[in-house]
Structure formats: structure tokens, C-alpha cells
């Protein structure tokens, strides 16, 4: 017997005592004679239809990335694929919750355990279904935010929920140097590329600097890279700007050389990541004329999405994201290890850091300006976070950047009540929607219909040795 996933249908079936409920919401609901189900015909006016057409999946390649001259290079993609799975670029695990059990990447004190694929788990749609509690990620430390999917990410104008980075490669360098993520640094990463991947690197980027020359480049062993367990104080970190030791003591030429190697490796990773797509869904089949491709509840959900519920005001375009930042009145809640991030100013803080970042796409290490840096930072960015794409949500174990909502039902309830009072700083843009239970279930059904086939399986698998 099949299990109905739709809360409303299940509830209605349960009410119809003695009636066998054989059909689920993905077929024509057939609760049996006598059951009263609020199952109105979907109302798709020409206006609704035009609004839905705006959401059609775009299978064209993502926009060109002028900041990365290798963004579309096949050999860079292959090298990036290898590096995405490479744990040897990481420093020590610091958090003691890393006890070697399933769900952790190793034991506190061990180095070389964290790769991009450790949090963006390829088989799970590049989200984290590994970390204990399935909320925020546990790498070197507990991350502040939930690991988002990388599917379709190359179409985002700015990256991270607060817009802190304006290219995928700069994001990769940021993660390598973050104490809570890879807990590494650009000097150690460059030395490891030299030690482990020199041939592949040089075939793409030309001769490497002499990263084994200890006079120019202080040599770091894996257990010496990154930060120690002390408070977040860069003096206790090694191999990145501001370390007041190995990196800061190098000549400007050596600093630039090490940074260039790490940035080039990150550009190869970005070339790989840019290929990760969700693919078109049953929604596109339905737009293409296959009436059976969406059930009645999904069709009603589609209509609500662009109509009464107003979701497409922010979740617009082919990825159901306007790429902009909005304050939706999220009230931070405790997730995973009693962690509540109450002082997150969102894009107001993230974009200010981006503008000063030497690795932004206007900086010296970029191959060209992506043209997405904000000109001015207004008060509306306080507590505002980027509208996420809503494609391929199926494997996502939790929602919102804080991971505090566990199901799509909870997310829809959240938008229905117009967010919560006293959330993150700033002004909540939402109003309550007054949806009934059936309408909320319809919206959840529609969100679940946006599942594509995912990337080419060769991109999901670990690279061949
Ligand atoms: C600790 C687990 C973790 C690891 C390891 C990790 N990431 Fe992430 N990644 C995150 C989190 C958390 C965010 C979201 C931060 C936010 O929302 O501000 C993120 C965001 C991103 C984004 C932006 C996504 C978006 O929606 O804007 C990209 C791109 C990315 N990571 C790529 C990488 C790459 C490449 C690597 C390897 C170098 C990597 N990540 C390693 C946790 C991780
Ligand atoms: C004012 C703009 C806005 C409107 C309107 C809006 N959203 Fe969102 N939505 C956002 C933002 C911003 C986030 C991310 C919030 C965060 O993580 O802090 C979000 C998050 C989500 C998520 C979680 C995705 C994830 O990966 O965690 C879902 C699902 C979602 N919205 C669905 C909807 C639905 C359904 C509607 C209509 C009922 C809607 N949204 C209306 C801006 C909006």
C-alpha cells in the first residue's frame, strides 16, 4: 500500500471512517464514496498561466562568469571535481563533538578530514544530510548556518545568505580559511597543491612558484595549518592574512604567489560547481502541455504561489529566486548544539565585508568584474537574507539559513503567519496571508513538484583516481 505524503489528503482519509483510501495526492484523489473532500478544480486563468510561465526552468548554461577565465574549461572542471572531494587541503578539527562517530568527519585534533563534499554531500543534492541533528554543519567547528545546495548556484548574483561573496571561487577560498569549516589557509593550500596536484595544476596554469622553498614559503605540516582551539583570534592562526606569523612575514611577492595558487585552485573548483544543475521538473512538463504531469493539489499550489500567497514576489524567475535580500521576520531559534544566532545583521553586514574584500570580483585576483557589487547599502538590508532557489528541495533536511524549520509544512505555516515578531534586526516585509489548511497543503505539494533529475551522475560520483 502506498503512503500518502499530502497531509490534507491523509487527514481527510482518516476522517472518512471505514473507507479505504487508495489514492495519493499525486494521482486523482479517490477517497471513496461518501467522503467529503475540499478538492476544488484548479483555477488557472490566462494571467495565472502567464505568471507561471515566468518560472519555467532555463536549461541554457548559467550566465558567463568574467571573474573566472577557466569557468567553462573542461580540464579545469575535471581538476575542480578532484579538489571538491580533496580533504587534504584542510587543517585540524577543533570542535570536541568530532568524536569519530557517524555524522562527524573524524576526531578532534585530526587534520585532513574536511572537503567541500563533506558538507555539500553530492549524493544528497549537495546539501548536508550527514551532520548530527541535520541542521547546521559540523566540520572543524559547528558552522553558523545550514549548508545550502549548490545546484543552480552559478545563476545566483551574490553568494551566501548574506551576500558576503560575489564569486564561487572567492567563496571557496573563504571556506578554506574559515576556522569553522576547513580551518586551513591559503599558504598551506598552495603547498598541498604543490605536493599533491602539481602536474594537473601546471598543465592548466603554468609553472608553480617554488612552494617547497622554505626560505620564501614557511613550510606547514597539516597539523600546523589553520587556527588552534583558542578564541577566534587570528594571532593563533597560521598561513593566512592577518596571522602575524608565517603568512604576514612573507614578502609581498611570495604572498601574492601563494594567494594566486590557492585562487587558481578555487577557480577550478568553481568551474566544477558551475555545472551542478537541478534540471527541469514535472512543473515544466505541465507547462509544456502534459495536464497529467501535476496533480490537482499541485496545480492549485502553483496558482496560489503566483496568486493569493504572493510567493513569486520574491521567488521569481527560472530558479524561483529574485537573487535579492529580504527581511522575512525570522526569529532565530536554537538548532543543533544549543546555538542561537541572535545578532545576525544579514546582508547589511555581509555586503559591507564584500565591498572591502581583496578577493571580490573587482580585486587583483579576479579575471574580470561580475558587475554585482552593490553601489549603496540601504537600511532594508538589516536582517535581510537572500531569497533561496526553491528547486530540488527534496533532500533538504531543514530549511531557512538557520535550519530552524524542519519541514516544508512548517515553512509554509511560517509565511502564512507573516513571519514572527521580534526576529533578526530590521523591518519584516511579510504580511500574514490567511490561508486555509487545504491551501497550505497545496503550496507544499507544489514545492515538492519542483524536483529535477539532478546533475549528470558522473559529476555526483567521486572523481576517478
Ligand atoms: C562546514 C561545512 C561546509 C564545507 C566544508 C563547505 N561549505 Fe560551502 N557552505 C556552507 C555553508 C554553511 C554555507 C552557507 C553560508 C551562508 O548561508 O551564509 C555555504 C555556502 C556555499 C556557497 C554559496 C551557496 C549559496 O547559496 O550562496 C558555495 C558556492 C559553497 N558553499 C561552496 C563550497 C566549496 C567550493 C567548498 C569547498 C572548498 C565548500 N563550500 C565547503 C558549508 C560548507
Ligand atoms: C518577501 C520575500 C519573500 C516572500 C514573499 C516569500 N519568500 Fe520564501 N523566502 C524568502 C527568503 C529571504 C528566504 C530565506 C530566509 C532565510 O533563510 O533567512 C525564504 C525561504 C523560503 C523557503 C526555504 C528554502 C530553504 O532552502 O531553506 C521556502 C521553502 C520558501 N521560502 C517558500 C516560500 C513560499 C511558499 C512563499 C509564499 C507563501 C514564500 N516563500 C514567500 C523570501 C520570500
In which band, very low, low, confident or very high, does the pLDDT at 50 lie, cut at 50, 70 and 90? very high
Quick one: cell of 233? 583570534
315 CB within 6 A, ligand 2:
yes
Instruction: Specify the pTM.
Output: 0.92
pLDDT number for residue 231: 58
pLDDT number for residue 401: 95
Identify whether the C-beta of residue 98 lies closer than 8 Å to the C-beta of residue 106: yes
Residues 6+ apart with CB under 8 A from 324: 314, 386, 387
**Radius of gyration over alpha carbons of the chain, in Å?**
24
Average pLDDT, the chain: 91
| Backbone dihedral angles phi then psi of residue 195, each to the nearest 5 degrees | -75, -40
Q: Which residues of 237-257 are buried (b: 16+ CB within 10 A; e: fewer)?
A: bbbbbebeebbeebeeebbeb
Least confident range of 3-7, 28-32, 362-366, 452-456: 3-7
- Cα–Cα distance for residue pair 183/93, rounded to 1 Å: 8
pLDDT number for residue 229: 78
- Specify the ligand 2 atom closest to the Cα of 384: 12
Atom 15 of ligand 1: nearest residue by CA position: 160
Task: Residue count of the chain, please give it.
Answer: 465
Q: Is the dihedral of CA 241, 242, 246, 250 positive or negative?
A: positive
pLDDT number for residue 422: 81
440 CB within 6 A, ligand 2:
no
Cα 175 to ligand 1 centre (Å): 7
446 CB within 6 A, ligand 2:
no
Atom 13 of ligand 2: nearest residue by CA position: 387
pLDDT number for residue 334: 81
Identify whether the C-beta of residue 146 lies closer than 8 Å to the C-beta of residue 135: yes
pLDDT in tens, 168-206: 999 999 999 999 999 999 999 999 999 999 999 999 999
pLDDT number for residue 26: 44
- Cα–Cα distance for residue pair 303/292, rounded to 1 Å: 16
- Specify the ligand 2 atom closest to the Cα of 405: 27
Other CB atoms closer than 10 Å to residue 300's CB: what's the count?
Answer: 25
Quick one: cell of 155? 545563476
* DSSP codes of every residue in 311-375: GGGTS-TTTT--S-EE--------BTTTB------BHHHHHHHHHH-TTSTTSTT-SS--S---S
CA 455 from chain center: how many Å?
15
> Is 11's pLDDT higher than 50?
no
- Cα–Cα distance for residue pair 330/423, rounded to 1 Å: 5
Q: How do beta strands 226-227 and 325-326 pair?
A: unpaired
Cα 65 to ligand 2 centre (Å): 26
Atom 5 of ligand 2: nearest residue by CA position: 311
In which band, very low, low, confident or very high, does the pLDDT at 8 lie, cut at 50, 70 and 90? very low
Alpha helices in 252-322, H assignment, sequence order:
252-273, 282-287, 296-306
Report, as an integer, the average pLDDT of 225-238. Answer: 75
DSSP letter, residue 363: S
Specify the residue for cell string 515538492.
448
- Cα–Cα distance for residue pair 399/384, rounded to 1 Å: 16
DSSP letter, residue 172: H
Cα 393 to ligand 1 centre (Å): 17
Cα 159 to ligand 2 centre (Å): 16
pLDDT in tens, 77-116: 999 999 999 999 999 999 999 999 999 999 999 999 999 9
Atom 34 of ligand 2: nearest residue by CA position: 311
In which band, very low, low, confident or very high, does the pLDDT at 343 lie, cut at 50, 70 and 90? confident
Cα 303 to ligand 1 centre (Å): 33
pLDDT in tens, 207-218: 999 999 999 999
In which band, very low, low, confident or very high, does the pLDDT at 131 lie, cut at 50, 70 and 90? very high
In which band, very low, low, confident or very high, does the pLDDT at 335 lie, cut at 50, 70 and 90? confident
pLDDT number for residue 32: 47
Range(s) of the chain covered by CATH 1.10.760.10: 50-59+281-344+382-453, 74-276
pLDDT in tens, 21-40: 334 444 444 444 445 568 99
Share of the chain above pLDDT 90, in %: 84
The overall longest dimension of the chain from CA atoms, in Å, is: 85
Q: Report the top-level CATH class of 50-59+281-344+382-453.
A: mainly alpha
Atom 15 of ligand 2: nearest residue by CA position: 400
280 CB within 6 A, ligand 2:
no
Cα 425 to ligand 2 centre (Å): 17
Report, as an integer, the average pLDDT of 283-293. Answer: 98
Cα 276 to ligand 1 centre (Å): 14
Which bin fits 27, alpha (ψ -120 to 50), beta or left (φ > 0)? beta
Of the ligands numbered here, which is closest to the C-alpha atom of 398?
2
Identify whether the C-beta of residue 287 lies closer than 8 Å to the C-beta of residue 50: no
Q: Which CATH superfamily hosts domain 74-276?
A: Cytochrome c-like domain (1.10.760.10)
Amino acid at each position: 500500500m502506498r503512503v500518502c505524503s499530502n497531509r490534507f489528503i491523509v487527514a481527510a482519509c482518516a476522517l472518512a471512517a471505514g473507507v479505504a483510501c487508495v489514492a495519493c495526492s499525486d494521482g486523482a484523489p479517490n477517497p471513496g464514496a461518501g467522503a467529503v473532500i475540499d478538492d476544488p478544480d484548479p483555477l488557472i486563468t490566462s494571467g495565472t498561466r502567464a505568471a507561471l510561465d515566468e518560472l519555467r526552468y532555463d536549461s541554457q548554461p548559467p550566465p558567463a562568469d568574467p571573474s573566472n577565465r577557466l569557468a567553462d574549461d573542461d580540464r579545469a572542471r575535471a581538476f575542480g571535481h578532484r579538489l571538491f572531494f580533496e580533504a587534504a587541503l584542510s587543517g585540524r578539527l577543533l570542535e570536541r563533538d568530532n568524536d569519530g562517530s557517524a555524522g562527524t568527519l573524524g576526531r578532534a585534533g585530526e587534520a585532513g578530514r574536511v572537503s567541500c563534499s563533506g558538507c555539500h554531500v553530492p549524493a544528497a543534492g549537495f546539501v548536508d544530510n550527514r551532520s548530527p541533528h541535520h541542521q547546521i554543519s559540523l566540520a572543524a567547528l559547528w558552522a553558523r548556518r545550514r549548508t545550502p545546495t549548490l545546484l543552480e548556484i552559478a545563476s545566483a548574483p551574490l553568494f551566501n545568505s548574506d551576500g558576503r561573496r560575489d564569486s564561487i571561487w572567492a567563496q571557496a577560498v573563504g571556506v578554506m580559511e574559515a576556522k569553522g569549516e576547513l580551518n586551513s589557509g591559503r599558504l598551506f593550500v598552495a603547498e598541498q597543491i604543490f605536493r599533491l596536484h602539481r602536474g594537473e595544476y601546471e598543465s592548466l596554469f603554468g609553472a608553480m612558484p617554488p612552494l617547497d622553498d622554505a626560505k620564501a614559503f614557511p613550510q606547514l605540516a597539516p597539523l600546523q595549518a589553520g587556527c588552534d582551539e583558542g578564541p577566534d583570534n587570528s594571532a593563533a592562526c597560521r598561513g593566512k592574512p592577518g596571522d602575524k606569523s608565517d603568512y604576514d612575514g612573507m614578502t609581498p611577492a611570495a604572498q601574492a604567489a601563494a594567494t594566486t595558487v590557492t585562487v587558481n585552485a578555487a577557480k577550478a573548483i568553481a568551474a566544477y560547481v558551475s555545472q551542478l544543475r537541478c534540471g527541469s521538473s514535472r512543473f515544466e512538463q505541465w507547462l509544456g502541455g502534459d495536464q497529467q504531469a501535476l496533480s490537482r493539489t499541485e496545480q492549485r499550489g502553483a496558482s496560489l504561489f503566483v496568486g493569493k500567497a504572493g510567493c513569486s514576489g520574491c521567488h521569481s524567475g527560472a530558479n524561483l529566486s529574485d537573487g535579492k535580500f529580504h527581511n522575512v521576520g525570522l526569529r532565530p531559534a536554537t538548532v543543533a548544539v544549543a546555538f542561537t544566532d541572535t545578532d545576525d545583521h544579514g546582508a547589511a553586514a555581509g555586503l559591507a565585508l564584500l565591498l572591502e574584500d581583496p578577493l571580490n570580483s573587482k580585486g587583483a585576483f579576479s579575471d574580470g568584474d561580475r558587475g554585482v557589487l552593490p553601489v549603496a547599502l540601504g537600511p532594508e538590508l538589516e536582517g535581510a537574507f537572500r531569497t533561496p532557489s526553491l528547486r530540488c528541495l527534496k533532500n533538504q533536511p531543514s530549511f531557512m539559513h538557520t535550519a530552524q524549520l524542519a519541514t516544508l509544512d512548517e515553512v509554509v505555516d511560517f509565511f502564512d503567519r507573516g513571519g514572527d515578531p521580534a526576529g533578526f534586526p530590521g523591518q519584516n516585509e511579510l504580511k500574514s496571508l490567511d490561508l486555509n489548511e487545504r491551501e497550505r497543503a497545496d503550496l507544499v505539494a507544489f514545492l515538492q513538484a519542483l524536483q529535477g533529475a539532478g546533475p549528470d551522475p558522473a559529476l555526483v560520483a567521486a572523481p576517478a583516481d
